[in-house]
Chains A and B, each alone.
Chain A
Amino acid sequence: MFHFVLRRLASAVPTLFIVVTLSFFLMRFAPGGPFNLERPLPPATMENLMKAYHLDQPLWNQYLQYLKNAVTGDFGPSYIYKDNTIAELIGKGLPYSITLGSYALLLALFGGVIIGTIAALRQNSFLDFLIMSIATVGVTVPNFVVGPVLTLVFAVLLSLLPAGGWGDGSWRFLILPMIALALPQLAVFARLTRGSMIEGLHTDHIRTARAYGLPPRVVVITHAMRGALLPVVSYLAPCAAALLTGSAVVESIFTIPGVGRYFVLGAINRDYTLVMGTVVLVAIFVIVFNLLVDILYGLLDPRVRHD
């Protein structure tokens, strides 16, 4: 197990390197630059800026310099948020995104698995149909629609909850963005769970469990669900990485000071270092969660145990 984790962490290094390299050059090949503003800067100012940020040097030098700094944990200054380094920006925003994302992930996972299981147990009934219809809506309606509608109903019309902001970080502020963020993922988990539960309930070993008079609770939870969770767990890694690194849309709608908006702002403004910072952040999350999921997978299924 220990060796497995070590090996996986070692293999993360080349993965990160490839991600960084690809995004560095792709970003530079996109037209425009961080200082091409709507009102063009005077050429002298532009030249000074380029020099100050080493953007006048050959691309290769910039790349090597970036790599060198990145290894020491220095991801450079932001070109747009001029007083902040990338590390500061992410360090400030990430706790908000992670907090919100964790709640959303838990809601999506448990909510999705529970209603997916209920739908599977009542396969082809009205309830199954209803749940799956709602799940389809959950996947298809984008959260820039869900968010404002939630705000309109619960904040404006009913005045039950605040319309946005982080406030004191209490559940009253978190609940609406959490739902908006979780809903599409909850729908995916519900569909995955339903499908694999239906399959699981028809296996030979479930027939054995029933033939031996085990109570329905044991048949469903102990035997059918554990196997049915395997595909759900596989989806957990990309989902967790996406939710915990924040959502630009949801954070903008509910004015949450997380890191989600940096993805969009960085890209639009050609804020090279900010984009690179967010890319590395997501890559690390994906790598870490994939590793956690593989370990979890081994715990659930003895056939793929890593020794």
Chain B
Amino acid sequence: MDMQANVLSVRGLKVDFTTPDGDVKAVKGIDLDVKPGETLAVVGESGSGKSQTMMGIMGLLANNGRVTGSAKYRGQELIGLPLKGLNEVRGAKITMIFQEPMTSLDPLYTIGRQIAEPIVHHKGVSFKQAKVRVLELLKLVGIPDPERRINSYPHEMSGGQRQRVMIAMALANEPDLLIADEPTTALDVTIQAQILDLLRELQKRFGMAIVLITHDLGIVKHFADRVVVMRRGEVVERGDIEQIFEHPKEDYTRMLIDAVPSGAKEPPEDSAPIILEGRNVAVDFAIGGGFFTRATKLFRAVDGVTVRLKRGQTIGIVGESGSGKSTLGRALLRLLPSSGHYHFGDKNISNFDRSAMRPLRKELQLVFQDPYGSLSPRQTVGEIITEGLRIHEPQLSRAERDKRAIAALKEVGLDPAARNRYPHEFSGGQRQRIAIARAMILKPKVVILDEPTSALDRSVQGQVIELLRDLQEKHGLSYIFISHDLAVIKAMSDYVIVMKNGKIVEEGETEDIFDTPHNTYTKTLLAAAFDLE
């Protein structure tokens, strides 16, 4: 193949990191070609080296990183290119957008200035001259009212808008190649669809090539021309879309394609008793106000929602960020001030305060999304999972607690030796198992699972879902499963509640909701999640 015809041509690229525990080979000598105007998807799970490949090419590795091999932009070698030369390519010929729309923009400057910066530096014009172009770009990426928004700061915009700003920045100098590193992972599904549509439309218009780095094969199918599958720093398979999706050669590729969680849950019998009920749940948050001043506004996060959870049932609560789904979960457990009527079993817990709730906490457990933030880094796993026992079953001896810890760890599929180690020694999936063990050791009746799989790779996600389903069957648990991920909701729950702006827009048995949704918003969500066309 003629190398000159490629926008980007990578040969034998290696990325190594020097760490106190020795060198880590993140990318082990890979080849890639990107043709003009095409979309190449680089797919892999965390740790596959897909991002580090691009960071290495762009000279953006962390200080302890080292890149070797060759990466040519239209014949010009980028590896080892002095900073001055590299800076003529980055931001002008090759641009990037990143996963974190919240932090990728400088919080201290207006978005107008930040979009203008690459224009000013590459074209040698003044900020004033660049303003016309910035307004044009903002219009192009669909930011409403650009004349006003040009003076906005990043914190005044939503995640989707910030990602649009990043795209505007990426297009500013009409690049040949746009590298999009998980551009929609942090966004809601409906926003994700909009951003991908925008990228596709802009690509059609300006003809740049796109390298899409992602873990999500669902996006790839509708968006890319060719796919490179990476695993542990190596390319395991490559081909065009049809080939990869219709006839994958490697087991790993097949696993990634099939990794969309499967299965369904049977609803409990009609006679099953209601175990947790919240009627007309409403939660208000105060906005503004300080130490001496009264709150200026009340924001209604949950607005008159009724939830009835039967024994053995899993209610899936689905909604986008800000829909109030997590707040509802916490209100049902009486973890924050809320109004409404609450029953747990045959107890009316509407007026229970903190201390009245405490004996019930054992039976009402919560598992969080972030397996990194929700486990104390200074406690051993054993201490973390037995902490609840010390409070709720203080009569247990140390040996008995240890026995329970061993049983709980075994139950979630971890080696009991794990209890003497610290959370940072475990992977994301393992940490989530630890968090589940912490809840299960108390033998709860109801577990609220708040996005328990959202921070995990698809393959690990499947395992955690499997585990949760097994535990439910074994112990007759009732779950409230909160997620933005419709595929996971479908696999886990027998009843679905769709929330938007603090209200229920639709609810019903899982099958009905997914097969015959009635509400427009539900339809939009489903369309965005399962069919990007």
For residue A61, which residues in chain B have a CB less than 8 angstroms away from its CB?
A: none
Q: Which residue of B lies closest to A205 (CB)?
A: B106
* Residue of A207, A208, A209, A223 with most chain B CB atoms under a 10 A cut-off: A208
Q: Mark A271-285, 1 if CB is under 8 A from B, else 0.
A: 000000000000000
Instruction: Indicate if the CB atoms of A204 and B153 lie closer than 8 Å.
Output: no
Q: How far is the CB of B189 from chain A (nearest CB, A)?
A: 23
24 residue pairs from A and B, CB less than 8 Å apart: A123-B63, A204-B98, A204-B100, A204-B103, A207-B98, A208-B98, A208-B106, A208-B169, A210-B90, A211-B58, A211-B90, A211-B91, A212-B91, A212-B117, A215-B87, A215-B121, A218-B117, A300-B108, A301-B107, A301-B108, A302-B108, A302-B153, A303-B107, A303-B155
Q: Which residue of A lies closest to B103 (CB)?
A: A204
Q: Mark B134-157, 1 if CB is under 8 A from A, else 0.
A: 000000000000000000010100
The complex places the Cα of A223 from the Cα of B109 at a distance, in Å, of 9
B104 interfacial contact with A, CB 8 Å = yes
A contact set with B: CB distance below 8 Å: 123, 202-205, 207-216, 218, 223, 226-227, 300-303
Instruction: Indicate if the CB atoms of B118 and A214 lie closer than 8 Å.
Output: yes
B88 interfacial contact with A, CB 8 Å = yes
The complex places the Cα of A223 from the Cα of B108 at a distance, in Å, of 8
Instruction: Indicate if the CB atoms of A223 and B106 lie closer than 8 Å.
Output: yes
Instruction: Indicate if the CB atoms of A213 and B153 lie closer than 8 Å.
Output: no
B contact set with A: CB distance below 8 Å: 58-60, 62-63, 83, 86-92, 95-96, 98, 100, 103-109, 117-118, 121-122, 153, 155, 166, 169
Beyond known contacts A205-B105, A212-B118, A213-B88: 5 more, CB 8 A cutoff:
A207-B60, A208-B166, A214-B117, A216-B83, A302-B155
Known A212-B95, A212-B117, A213-B118; contact A207-B104, beta-carbon cutoff 8 A? yes
Q: How far is the CB of A113 from chain B (nearest CB, A)?
A: 17
Instruction: Indicate if the CB atoms of A213 and B60 lie closer than 8 Å.
Output: no
For residue B60, which residues in chain A have a CB less than 8 angstroms away from its CB?
A: 207, 210-211
Residue among B95, B103, B106 making CB contact with A211, cutoff 8 Å: B95
For residue A216, which residues in chain B have a CB less than 8 angstroms away from its CB?
A: 83
Q: Which residue of B lies closest to A227 (CB)?
A: B108
Q: How far is the CB of B37 from chain A (nearest CB, A)?
A: 22
Question: What are the 7 tightest A-B residue pairs by CB atom distance, in nearest-first order?
Answer: A212-B91, A213-B91, A213-B87, A204-B103, A213-B90, A205-B106, A212-B118
Known A204-B98, A207-B60, A303-B153; contact A212-B90, beta-carbon cutoff 8 A? yes
Instruction: Indicate if the CB atoms of B122 and A213 lie closer than 8 Å.
Output: yes
For residue B86, which residues in chain A have a CB less than 8 angstroms away from its CB?
A: 213
The complex places the Cα of A120 from the Cα of B2 at a distance, in Å, of 45
Instruction: Indicate if the CB atoms of B108 and A226 lie closer than 8 Å.
Output: yes
For residue B106, which residues in chain A have a CB less than 8 angstroms away from its CB?
A: 205, 208-209, 223, 227
Q: Which residue of A lies closest to B99 (CB)?
A: A204
For residue A123, which residues in chain B have a CB less than 8 angstroms away from its CB?
A: 63
Query: Does more than half of chain A's interface fall in helix, strand or loop, or is it mixed?
Result: helix
Instruction: Indicate if the CB atoms of B103 and A203 lie closer than 8 Å.
Output: yes
* Residue of A211, A227, A301 with most chain B CB atoms under a 10 A cut-off: A211
Instruction: Indicate if the CB atoms of B121 and A214 lie closer than 8 Å.
Output: yes
The complex places the Cα of A51 from the Cα of B60 at a distance, in Å, of 78
Residue among B62, B89, B91, B108 making CB contact with A214, cutoff 8 Å: B91
The complex places the Cα of A123 from the Cα of B63 at a distance, in Å, of 10
The complex places the Cα of A301 from the Cα of B166 at a distance, in Å, of 21
Q: How far is the CB of B54 from chain A (nearest CB, A)?
A: 10
For residue B63, which residues in chain A have a CB less than 8 angstroms away from its CB?
A: 123
The complex places the Cα of A302 from the Cα of B169 at a distance, in Å, of 21
For residue B118, which residues in chain A have a CB less than 8 angstroms away from its CB?
A: 212-214
The complex places the Cα of A256 from the Cα of B100 at a distance, in Å, of 56
* Residue of A202, A218, A223, A302 with most chain B CB atoms under a 10 A cut-off: A302
The complex places the Cα of A226 from the Cα of B92 at a distance, in Å, of 25
Q: How far is the CB of B173 from chain A (nearest CB, A)?
A: 9
The complex places the Cα of A305 from the Cα of B138 at a distance, in Å, of 25
For residue A211, which residues in chain B have a CB less than 8 angstroms away from its CB?
A: 58, 60, 90-91, 95-96
* Residue of B62, B87, B95 with most chain A CB atoms under a 10 A cut-off: B87
Residue among A202, A203, A205, A213 making CB contact with B89, cutoff 8 Å: A213
Known A227-B108, A302-B108; contact A213-B121, beta-carbon cutoff 8 A? yes
For residue A202, which residues in chain B have a CB less than 8 angstroms away from its CB?
A: 62
The complex places the Cα of A10 from the Cα of B121 at a distance, in Å, of 47
Q: Which residue of A lies closest to B117 (CB)?
A: A214
Known A211-B60, A213-B90; contact A204-B117, beta-carbon cutoff 8 A? no
Q: How far is the CB of B141 from chain A (nearest CB, A)?
A: 16
Q: How far is the CB of B134 from chain A (nearest CB, A)?
A: 14
Q: How far is the CB of A210 from chain B (nearest CB, A)?
A: 6
Q: Which residue of B lies closest to A229 (CB)?
A: B108
The complex places the Cα of A223 from the Cα of B107 at a distance, in Å, of 9
